[in-house]
Amino acid sequence: MPSAGPMPRRGLQHFALAVLLASFAVLVIGVKVPHVTLVIAAAAAGLTVDLALRQWLPAVPAALARVHCAETVRQLLRDLLVLAMLVQLPGLETSDRLLLATGLLAGYALHFVTRGLSIVVRRSRTLPVLTRNIDTSGLRLSPAPPRLLARQSGHRLLLFSVPATAGLLATVATEQVIWGLLGTGTTVLLALAGAVHLATWLLPGKRPPSERQVLAWLDAWLDGYRPDVALYFSGGNATAYQANMWLTTLAALDGKPLIVLRERCMVQLIAATDVPMVCIPKVAHLMHLEHSTLKMMLHPANAPKTTQVLRIPSIKHAFTNHGESDKLSSCNPYAKVYDEVWVAGPAARERYALADVGVDDRDVVEVGRPQLAPVRPADGRPPADGPVTVLYAPTWEGWTKDPGNTSVILAGENIVSALLADERVRLLYKPHPMTGSVDARAGAADARIRALIAEANAARAPRHDPAAREELARRTAELDSLTATAFRADADDLERMMLQGAPEPGRAARVEAATAAWETAFWASHAPGEHLVLDGPRPAIYACFNQADLLVTDVSSVVSDFLASSKPYAVVNTSGMTDAEFRAVNPTVRAATVLGRDADGIPALLATVRDPALDTLAADRAALKEHLLGPSDPPSLERFRAATAALCDKSDARRRRQAGDGPKIPAQRTAGAGAAAATPGTPS
């Protein structure tokens, strides 16, 4: 079923909120009048809407919580108004009202006891280290408690309050105290049972190991595994792709690789890999790596927490970046803090020299782009009778909100309209995953581009092969079974850690084969001329390169990567510079067709793809490819391995010097001593 879209859903949220607020207004009026029917209807409707919101429209209770009107506050107000109505009923004795109020208060008391227990349990289950692809059986971890008890205190209160509210409303209707006592008694029993059940997670059989025990286990595991090269990554949810692009290269290295993360959420965002993974949020615990066998770390991104691991002197650090382009981020002055800066080819070396940001040329190492191995080179033939496949892959708006960073804002709709106007074009639109995250204009333009593509597809009415769709579904299920661990809805980080132990032998090869089969099935499941919006992790950008005859993009690392295919490409100039200035400032544009905001050059660009005789930039692309990515011989992976071995040798040499008899700087920490004590006041 197609999505209802943002506006209808927002309208539904507003309607539900209005109904909820109206229920309280009617309830107040019913108590004031007083009117039994109004009170019963308003209280019942309000509780029903509250329960439904949590299930189907969670954004509404989240917004109410931000203004200090959480579920607990709403239910307490609802109960107080019902009690106010009970006070006005002539058929109830004062003692009856006191009994009902006492029962209600007992339910709230147990609710807050359970809430306190949930905090204690969650803290006890927040380990100093999270892992993936590592056998954790020695820690004797336990499954998580029910989410309703451990993490959903407001929802729990609403559910457990249903008997009490129903009983009190029945008493309002009949003036019989027995119904209220039965309801509040049931709520008290439910709350008591929940509290007792949750408390069992604090008993020895379910209680997780202590921080000291977990850190001792980590030290023992590091001693047994003996890692030498680690990929270090810190970032937000939307940045996981920066680490994911290096996973296959890391796995292909000789030795014992490791992935070191800093944010707990990132453990599940890293793509499928067999490489062991440890997440160490606190800097004091991170220092346990100093006494491991780690020799070097690869850094695909700069992050504030990077400075924390750089203080470990026994580990060498290489900045690999997550892509190279003519953006200022590709010659960031921060790069000088690393022991070495690894780049693809001579162009990046020249970029650092021109930027004059303090990066010593002797520390720049050209290693190529080993992850580009899946990109197939062009075969030199024009498309057959089928459509020309154009990949439009704009970058995002960046932190500066400069509309010239991305073509989406100023030129995206013109580009897409011009491409869709050609009946012999098939468009693949793959926006950057962070599009619209900083500048709302980019998000709005992206939505309009998607609407244009949907409209063009509706006009074409592409026919799909049911058998191909069934094959895609089968391949998707197969790939998901290999790459995704099925977790219970109640699972927490500790339970996921327990389930994601050491991978079965050969899993990586099976994932690679399943991914290739899925990509084949994906492209086959769509009609040859169908336009596609590709905004998920599948298919990967390199798979899109192999489908495309032409790339349209912005100044970004996509240009350098696409040059591995030697196919034609165009770069959009929305900077305000002339084309000559734009080419001079951005070396990656030297072999590109430059498009302006109006996208008038699209027809001529498509002609060069259909007729190679019109392609005057082929030789320039070949030269620029080597300039950006380095020579093809020896292969990039071999150069990357050699650079890794050389930096590991430097680490070994330093350790030998420190272990010798000559003068040396005293160790910052000694094995077995608490790292936290050596770094007092260090923020985590």
Q: What is the distance between the alpha carbons of residues 211 and 677, in angstroms, rounded to a whole number?
A: 15
Check if the beta carbon of residue 198 is closer than 8 Å to that of residue 149: yes
Sorted by sequence, the CB contacts under 8 Å of residue 87 that are 6+ apart come out as: 97
Tokens standing for residue 265: 């959420």
**Which three-class secondary structure state does DSSP give residue 391?**
strand
What's the pLDDT band for 158 if we cut at 50, 70, 90? very high
**Residues of the chain above pLDDT 90, percent:** 70
Check if the beta carbon of residue 170 is closer than 8 Å to that of residue 179: yes
Check if the beta carbon of residue 314 is closer than 8 Å to that of residue 293: no
* 226-373 CATH: 3.40.50.2000
pTM of the shown model: 0.84
According to the model, what pLDDT value does residue 487 have?
86
Q: What is the pLDDT of residues 179-193, one digit of tens each?
A: 999 999 999 999 999
Express the helix, strand and coil content of the chain in percent, nearest 5 each: 55, 10, 35
The residue-averaged pLDDT of 663-669 equals 62
Dihedral sign of CA atoms 380, 382, 383, 389 in order = positive
CATH 3.40.50.2000: which residues of the chain? 226-373, 388-462+528-629
User: If you write DSSP's letter for every residue of 493-550 in order, what string do you get?
Assistant: HHHHHHHS-SPPTTHHHHHHHHHHHHHHHHHHTS-TT--EE--SSSS-HHHHHHH-SE
Given the candidates 3.40.30.10, 3.40.50.2000, 3.30.1330.10, 3.40.190.10, the CATH classification of the domain at 388-462+528-629 is: 3.40.50.2000
The residue-averaged pLDDT of 357-385 equals 86
What's the pLDDT band for 485 if we cut at 50, 70, 90? confident
Check if the beta carbon of residue 323 is closer than 8 Å to that of residue 301: no
> Residue 144 gets which letter from DSSP?
P
Q: What is the distance between the alpha carbons of residues 49 and 61, in angstroms, rounded to a whole number?
A: 11
Please list the residues that pair with 233 across neighbouring strands: 261
Q: What is the pLDDT of residues 382-428, one digit of tens each?
A: 676 678 999 999 998 887 766 678 999 999 999 999 999 999 999 99
Whether the pLDDT of residue 537 is over 90: the answer is no
What angle, 0 to 180 degrees and rounded to 10, lies between the N-to-C axes of helices 602-610 and 412-420? 50
